[in-house]
Copies of this chain bind each other. A is one copy, B any other.
Amino acid sequence: MRLSTKGRYAVTAMLDLTLQGGDGPVTLAEISETQGISLSYLEQLFACLRAKQLVRGVRGPGGGYYLGRPAEEISIADIICAVDEWVEFTRCGGNRDCRDGKRCLTHNLWDDLSNEIFNFLSNINLAQLVERGGLKEGGCIREKQKEATLPGGSGSQAA
Contact = CB atoms under 8 A, between A and B. Distances in A.
Interface of A: 3, 5, 8, 11-12, 15-16, 35-36, 76, 85-89, 91-94, 99-100, 102-110, 112-113, 116-117, 120-121, 124, 129, 132-133, 135, 138-141, 143, 145, 149, 157-159
Contact of A139 (B102, B109, B132): B102
Contacts of A108: 132-133
Given A8-B89, A93-B158, A113 B105 contact: no
Contact of A106 (B12, B139, B159): B12
Contacts of A106: 8, 11-12, 15, 129
Nearest to A145: B100
